[in-house]
């Protein structure tokens, strides 16, 4: 269950070891009920304070690390069309190509969608809480792909900085593309959007295959595609 | 307003409550580590840590009462009136 491949695994193990030690101390106290002398107080301080704090600290960091993973994003069923495409080795979508990157592919959702500023991680996590609320209030029991729920859309427009933090616009190979060279300044200023050319079904084709999100992949149900519930209300900003 | 009398039993009860809240907190945090998912993570990082903070505060309170000598004479029987 626990193979130590990353810092996150080490933290999880540290948290579990601390938890076991704390539980052992607390159970000992509950069973033995020793007098509250100095030694007992010190032992209890470890069981009630030091060890649980270690669990909280290591557990929090490991938890936050886990929330960066594509696996975590896919734990809500409405994200299935997105993560299935991203994980498909034969897919040529941008999401899938980025997900095959050995450096960040396992965190591809977060890498491309997290806010890019000093408090970017915080605002991204706050949006994550909003996702959770929306999931509970609007998408629970909406079918295996969330097809019965309202159309999914981004909270705010996808900025070029999400792309240019990696694609710096300086690389010769990138600049050699005629369209890039022709509107370099506009791209850098954000007046021309990367998604104007690379957006829509080029990114998440499986989710957009039927003109809306939260749909089973084509052919999965054998039924013809129908307009998404609430599709006419929502606006796809991607 | 009359303050409640703090006895040895009060102090032991505080420690006992602290112990149970810590166990609850540890249960939530360990569950979120073993079975990470959106709900468990949020519950562990909010309710779990609220319990954890509450338990250490209760324990420190109990220790403070104990160090102040509350309940030291609990086992001294009242003298019969002559």
pLDDT score of A76: 87
Q: How far is B26 from chain A (nearest CA, A)?
A: 6
CB atoms under 10 Å from CB of A226, counted, come to: 12
pLDDT score of A77: 84
**pLDDT digit string, tens, across residues A72-128:** 998 888 888 889 889 999 999 999 999 999 999 999 999 999 887 778 888 888 888
Which pLDDT band holds residue A218 (cuts at 50, 70, 90)?
low
Q: What is the DSSP string of chain B?
A: -PPPPP-HHHHHHHHHHHHHHHHHHHHHHHHHHHS--HHHHHHIIIIIHHHHHHHHHHHHHHHHHHHTTTTTTTTSPPPPP-
pLDDT score of A211: 42
How far apart are the C-alpha atoms of B21 and B58, rounded to whole Å? 10
Dihedral pair phi/psi, residue A57, rounded to 5°: -65, -55
What's the whole-number mean pLDDT along residues A219-225? 44
How far apart are the C-alpha atoms of B23 and A103, rounded to whole Å? 39
**Which residues of chain A lie closer than 8 angstroms to B75, CB-CB?**
none
- Strongest mean pLDDT among A4-13, A22-31, A111-120: A22-31
- Three-state SS at A163: helix
**Which residues of chain A lie closer than 8 angstroms to B33, CB-CB?**
12, 15-16, 59, 62-63
A16, A43, A55, best to mutate vs chain B, most B CBs in 10 Å: A55
pLDDT score of A232: 34
- Among the ranges given (A14-18, A50-54, A85-89, A197-201), the one the predictor scored with the smallest mean pLDDT: A197-201
**pLDDT digit string, tens, across residues B17-60:** 999 999 999 999 999 999 998 889 999 999 999 999 999 999 99
What's the whole-number mean pLDDT along residues A137-156? 81
**Which residues of chain B lie closer than 8 angstroms to A53, CB-CB?**
52, 56
* Residue A53 near chain B (CB below 8 Å): yes
- Among the ranges given (A163-172, A185-194, A217-226, B73-82), the one the predictor scored with the smallest mean pLDDT: A217-226
* Residue A123 near chain B (CB below 8 Å): no
Dihedral pair phi/psi, residue A21, rounded to 5°: -65, -45
Domain ranges of chain B: 36-71
* Residue A46 near chain B (CB below 8 Å): no
Of B11, B38, B48, the CB nearest to A36: B11
**pLDDT digit string, tens, across residues A51-66:** 999 999 999 999 988 9
**CA-to-CA dists, residue B19 to A21, A149, A218, angstroms:** 14, 44, 54
pLDDT score of A144: 79
What's the whole-number mean pLDDT along residues B56-78? 81
How far apart are the C-alpha atoms of A83 and A214, rounded to whole Å? 11
Q: What is the pTM of this model?
A: 0.76
Contacts of A192 (CB under 8 A, 6+ apart): A183, A186
Of A36, A52, A67, the CB nearest to B25: A52
Structure tokens at B65: 């009462």
pLDDT score of A138: 86
**A19, B25: Cβ pair inside 8 Å?**
no
* Residue A66 near chain B (CB below 8 Å): yes
A108 with A86: CB under 8 angstroms? Answer: yes
**A62, B33: Cβ pair inside 8 Å?**
yes
What's the whole-number mean pLDDT along residues A146-166? 84
Contacts of A159 (CB under 8 A, 6+ apart): A116, A190
**CA-to-CA dists, residue A175 to A70, A158, A160, A189, angstroms:** 30, 22, 16, 16
- Among the ranges given (A45-49, A137-141, A226-230, B24-28), the one the predictor scored with the smallest mean pLDDT: A226-230
Q: Kindly report the average pLDDT of chain A as a whole number.
A: 83
Q: A17, exposed or middle or buried, with CB in 10 Å at 0-12, 13-18, 19+?
A: middle
């Amino acid at each position: 269950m626990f193979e130590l491949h990353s810092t996150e695994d080490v933290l999880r193990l540290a948290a579990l070891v601390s938890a076991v030690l704390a539980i052992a101390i607390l159970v000992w106290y509950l069973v033995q009920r020793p007098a509250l002398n100095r030694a007992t107080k010190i032992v209890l301080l470890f069981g009630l304070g030091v060890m649980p704090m270690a669990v909280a600290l290591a557990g929090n960091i490991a938890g936050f690390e886990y929330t960066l993973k594509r696996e975590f994003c896919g734990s809500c069923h409405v994200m299935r069309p997105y993560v299935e495409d991203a994980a498909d080795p034969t897919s040529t979508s941008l999401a899938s190509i980025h997900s095959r990157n050995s450096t960040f592919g396992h965190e591809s959702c977060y890498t491309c969608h997290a806010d890019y500023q000093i408090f970017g991680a915080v605002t991204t996590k706050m949006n994550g809480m909003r996702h959770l609320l929306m999931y509970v209030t609007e998408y629970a029991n909406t079918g295996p792909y969330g097809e019965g729920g309202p159309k999914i859309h981004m909270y705010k427009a996808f900025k070029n900085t999400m792309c240019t933090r990696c694609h710096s616009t300086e690389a010769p190979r990138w600049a050699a593309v005629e369209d890039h060279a022709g509107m370099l300044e506009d791209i850098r200023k954000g007046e021309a959007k990367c998604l104007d050319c690379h957006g829509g079904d080029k990114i998440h084709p499986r989710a957009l295959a039927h003109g809306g999100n939260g749909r089973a992949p084509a052919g999965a149900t054998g039924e013809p595609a129908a307009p998404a519930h609430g599709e006419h209300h929502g606006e796809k900003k991607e | 307003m009359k303050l409640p009398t703090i006895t040895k039993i009060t102090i032991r009860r505080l420690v006992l409550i602290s112990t149970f809240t810590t166990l609850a907190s540890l249960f939530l945090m360990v569950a979120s580590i073993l079975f990470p998912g959106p709900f468990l993570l949020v519950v562990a990082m909010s309710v779990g840590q609220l319990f954890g903070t509450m338990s250490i505060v209760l324990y420190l309170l109990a220790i403070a009462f104990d160090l102040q000598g509350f309940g030291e004479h609990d086992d001294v029987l009242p003298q019969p009136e002559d």
